[in-house]
A and B are shown apart, each in its own frame.
Chain A
């Protein structure tokens, strides 16, 4: 089972929202679409689901071209950002409705819903309505519904963005376990890079309707192919130092180190983070962010340097890796 997008394009009027998009998600692989809002990641997801039709290109799911197949027949398990639970139905009826419209017998329906309720620890909530559930519970019901669909592909549209930070962290391993148990490809849309790194095998960073770079979290972090990816991935944000002949040097805050030789800096501000501390420095080449061990005491004026192999170089005008 896999998912292939070939040369996908979608435009509204004359404006291309997504263009020349190629993507392959393998069996049991979780791919995150990551990017700022308006980059086309949600549009891409809707195209895969069949909720929107591409103007160009083709979509193949499990070896079958589904480009023109209606969403009704596409076998997609989708978790919406809003969860899209049916407010007039109980949790049980929410889960059973899909089975019912797909013509599954009542007794079988009951058995299947019961087993997924047990799996998701929702048995006690079966007779509640969505309005009576917490955000986390609603998310579990939405996920249960996607599981019951017996899909060929899982699509998750910002499934965590309506939850508080603590719950998000708690739910990540559970979500990962549940959706990656099967062999289906998973496409996970998010604007949160932490979530993308935690959930996905590979991340596609999107910008202006195109994939800027695609790779494992490690590849993106250590080997960003453009200035955009370098700045988008990694917090605190990477340092950008304009250098001679139209080159921008980029160094991660944790790779800066104190030294006797180097750029003279003045300490502006210090943030203690527990295991480390974040230093905001001012130099004649602009502001710098530096991460260092929390126990070191930092004087007012310092000199900093970095190992040359940790430095990335980008073309200032094109943003591409030099």
Chain B
């Protein structure tokens, strides 16, 4: 009976996620562009064949995976440190907790514009500082080798608070007497991080990792505003490529193909992470 109560939520998810997925999967097997007069015509997997040989698609896949891996790793490391700090008792902690959430509360577009200005050549503060200490202009947003790192910085700044919040909530579920028992056993407070804190934080690490991986894999707004995918396509993500196919090239069939393949890659990545965590720990099964 209680399952009946889930129907509204299930319906909502079916409408918001299920329907578009089905529609786009269907569309990925059709030609639907200006050339077909925006009418969907079955093309027997031609979109998928094209995808396989599309250099730009593979480059964007690599770039998206690189962006997601590097920024999510940095975010989690920073988030662990911040969560540990915010979990300690010290004067002014409440204020710092509130402030540390600000980047996350800011609209991405606004903060991406901010970062674009910070990295701007020659007027941004970074270039100004480089000039001050006598460096050549860095051209951060126009050097295909390093621009992606600037987008990573923007993403880390924006979403670390989110991961830190999840981890802080996790830290607060660990009873203090576990630490006390560990000390009385002769364990050093520094060793407690690896023996107690991190193992017990594992479900929360997994949660924030999956959340962040999904968001980073579908990154669009930050890139669109900061670099527009450039220079020379070096920061273009899969979501951006799908968007361009639909909105600039008006090729909806192929855009759907890119979108669905990005979705499948993400599912694969999440599955992989989940499996790794399953292997690493079995105690959560024990609790069930």
Contacts and interface: CB of A to CB of B under 8 A. Distances in A.
Interface of A: 49, 51, 70-74, 76-78, 80, 82, 84-89, 97-98, 101-102, 128-129, 131-132, 145, 149
A131 B183 contact: no
Contacts of A70: 183
Contact of B185 (A51, A87, A101, A129): A101
Most chain A CB within a 10 A radius of its CB, from B185, B187, B200: B185
11 contacts: A70-B183, A71-B180, A72-B183, A72-B186, A84-B175, A87-B200, A98-B185, A101-B182, A101-B185, A101-B186, A129-B287
Given A88-B281, A88-B283, A132-B286, A78 B181 contact: yes
Contacts of A71: 180, 183-184
**Chain B contact residues (Cβ within 8 angstroms of A): what range?**
20 to 34
Given A78-B181, A82-B175, A84-B175, A98 B186 contact: yes
Interface in B162-205: 175, 177-178, 180-189, 191, 195-196, 199-200, 202
Q: Is the interface of B mostly helix, strand, loop or mixed?
A: helix
Contacts of A97: 182, 185, 187, 195
B172 to A, nearest CB: 15
A76 B175 contact: no
A98 B180 contact: no
A82 B177 contact: yes
B178 A86 contact: yes
A76 B283 contact: no
Contact of A102 (B175, B186, B202, B283): B186
Most chain A CB within a 10 A radius of its CB, from B175, B177, B189: B177
Interface in B236-288: 281, 283, 286-287
A145 B185 CA distance: 8
Contacts of B196: 86
A131 B180 contact: no
B195 A78 contact: no
Given A82-B175, A88-B281, A97-B195, A51 B186 contact: no
A148 B157 CA distance: 47
Given A71-B183, A82-B175, A101-B186, 15 more contacts: A49-B180, A72-B184, A72-B187, A72-B188, A72-B189, A76-B184, A84-B177, A84-B181, A85-B181, A88-B283, A97-B185, A97-B187, A97-B195, A98-B186, A131-B286
